[in-house]
Amino acid sequence: MSGDAPIKSNGHEFVTGAALGFGPASILHRAHSCRRCGVMLRRDGQNGPCAGPVKVETREADKPSGYDAVYDALTERAKAFVSREAVLEVIMAMGRVQEQHEQRRQRFARAGTVELVNTQEGGQ
């Protein structure tokens, strides 16, 4: 797998990272990836078929992403399993915890100290 000639396999055209512009300091400099789809060459050569050219585009602003998407999905799933009252109770409890956290943070900020929090399960 050495040399500058592309390795053709299953529709892929694998070239080194150097051929794609990665410098010697990059971990991808000597790695082989498909010029068309970007898939890395497997050591055993058993890559699936090439998916063709990849495209990079911006996310749509109206679609939630990251934390918001996960929160929305979990909220929808929770609604299917529990009553409306149970969901409201959890939301209220979350609000109380957030309020207590903010009060504690302000108290320690006024005192100029740092709070150490036990993050282990069951810690207070």
pLDDT by residue (tens digit) across 82-99?
677 777 887 888 888 888
Note whether residue 45 is domain-resident: yes
* pLDDT confidence tier of residue 63, bands split at 50, 70 and 90: low
Note whether residue 124 is domain-resident: no
CA distance 99 to 54: 46
> Per the confidence metrics, is the pTM higher than 0.85?
no
Do both 97 and 77 map to the same domain?
yes
Q: What does the pLDDT read at residue 62? A: 64
Mean pLDDT of 61-76: 68
8-state DSSP, 29: S
- Nearest CA among 43, 15, 39, 41 for reference residue 29: 15
Do both 52 and 97 map to the same domain?
no
CA distance 22 to 35: 13
Note whether residue 114 is domain-resident: no
Q: Which domain holds residue 88?
A: 67-109
Q: What does the pLDDT read at residue 67? A: 64
